[in-house]
Amino acid sequence: MKELEQIPREAERSSGMWGFVWEVIQFVALTIVIVVPIRVYVAQPYIVSGNSMYPTFESGDYLIVDQLSYRLNEPTYGDVVIFRYPQDPSKFFIKRIIGKPNDVIEFVNGALTIVNTEHPDGIAFDDPYANLLSRETKTVTLKEKEYYVLGDNRIASLDSRAWGPLPENLITGRVLARLFPVSHIDLLPGKIQFFKMPSNSN
């Protein structure tokens, strides 16, 4: 009575090949099921091109953009965001949020003040990049679902000053991390406090 039967070598090779193919299929399927949704809905890599956000970001910086947070919370002042350029949605821009929906933004000789329901008398920006603003004086009023964005390198940035408010639906996400260059690895790079908070007085 035979307990074991030798498998022909041709069958072994065939079985091994199909086993390998099946593993590849499983790997690809797993990638599609797990990695692709993460890339589409959660996080996406981008490489900075140009110097409109200098000195915060330089051309060649490798960034990971959080695409999930803004599905739960609205963008806020100082956030560095990636968005589709309103005049050509095939292009992606990186800028900093200065104004939120329904804000009135006042530019006076380069200094910025925000007027809204929380600050009807206005609140000044503690803006480290104000010296790079043009010395114009103007007022901008934002509508619902509109944001005002500026590049940190104000004298070399194509931003809301040129093409107007940014529609909310064009915002892709906020910059979550910088992974390259290695010497500048950072979480939430460029995060700053923009408002001068009033001191408590007795």
Pick the CATH number of 41-179 from 1.10.3720.10, 2.10.109.10, 3.30.310.50, 3.40.50.300: 2.10.109.10
Q: Which amino acid is at 185?
A: I
Residue 122: pLDDT above 70? yes
Secondary structure (3-state) at 136 = coil
Q: Which residues pair with 44 in a beta bridge?
A: 65
DSSP 90-138: EEEEEEEEEE-TT-EEEEETTEEEEE-SS-TT-EEB--TTGGGS----E
CA distances from 75 to 21, 102, 170 (A): 45, 14, 12
Domain ranges of the chain: 41-179
Of 49, 59, 69, 95, which is the active-site residue?
Answer: 95
Active site residue 143: no
Active site residue 52: yes
DSSP state of 134: -
Q: How many other β-carbons are positioned within 10 Å of the β-carbon of residue 194?
A: 18
Q: Which is nearest to 168 in space by CA: 78, 71, 88, 90?
A: 71
Q: What is the DSSP string of 46-85?
A: EE--SSTTTTTS-TT-EEEEE-SHHHHS---TT-EEEEEE
pLDDT digits (tens, 9 = 90+) for 162-189: 999 999 999 999 998 898 898 888 888 8
Model confidence at 4: pLDDT above 50: no
- Quote the pLDDT of residue 149: 96
Q: Which of 14, 15, 49, 52 is catalytic?
A: 52
Report CA torsion sign: 7, 11, 13, 16: negative
Can you name the residues that pair with 64 across neighbouring β-strands?
A: 45, 177
Q: What is the reported pLDDT for 41?
A: 47
Q: How many other C-beta atoms are found inside a 10 Å radius of the C-beta of residue 135?
A: 9
Chain centroid to Cα 32, Å, comes to 24
pTM for the model: 0.75
pLDDT tens digit sequence for 55-78: 999 999 999 898 888 988 999 999
Amino acid identity of residue 66, one-letter, is D
pLDDT band at 1 (very low <50, low <70, confident <90, very high): very low
